[in-house]
Amino acid sequence: MTNLVLFGPPGAGKGTQATILKDKYQLVHISTGDVFRFNIKNQTELGLSAKSYMDKGQLVPDEVTINMLKAEVEKNADAKGFIFDGFPRTEAQAEALSEYLESRGTKVDAMIALEVEDEILVERLLERGKTSGRPDDANENVVKNRIKVYYNETAILKNYYQKKDRYFGVNGVGSIEEITERLSGVIDQLMK
């Protein structure tokens, strides 16, 4: 089983790349954002709770996120592995994910981070906001706050996974194909 954490700030291209990589490596893509949006659209209790935080550009509390993630993994018990996109975001979440996967006889093999400059992120998110219908992509101040929250609260995970020799930074600027090729180079090395 191969389990990857695809990491990077909002707008780095995680969702686009995860879609390509899941097919290429036959992994299950679990996007925290997609699961939240599904719950928000269907106005579940989890969705309404998550929406109140997301609308402010804040992170959803660990307990809600972790329980949701466990349910997604359990839905796909026969998977060859997972690409976690948007999770973990804190060291506490990383520990919880590690403990949960170990209880299932597996682990996180790598955190692969898409590295993109802030100006490009803001441009990408505002452009996406024109077509996505996502209110958190349409307001420049909310976009900038999401990027700031990422650096303040989640960049610490880089150190967490570096200490375990499981961190790989990848240039997230270029064509979709170029970025996929860079990511595949890392994954292919891990799977040897």
pLDDT at 96 (0 to 100): 93
Fill in the DSSP letter of residue 104. T
Helix axes 32-41, 45-54, angle to 10 degrees: 120
Q: Which domains does the chain have, with CATH numbers?
A: 2-184 (3.40.50.300)
The annotated binding site for ATP is made up of 11-16, 128, 174
Write phi, then psi, for 175 (nearest 5 degrees): -75, 160
State how far the Cα of 110 lies from the Cα of 186, in Å rounded to an integer. Answer: 9
pLDDT at 181 (0 to 100): 98
The annotated binding site for AMP is made up of 32, 37, 58-60, 86-89, 93, 134, 146
List the structure tokens of 20. Answer: 């390509």
pLDDT at 107 (0 to 100): 95
**Regions of the chain short of the pLDDT cut 70:** none
pLDDT at 80 (0 to 100): 94
pLDDT at 172 (0 to 100): 95
Catalytic residues: 14, 89, 128, 134, 146
Residues 6+ apart with CB under 8 A from 57: 136, 142, 145, 146, 149
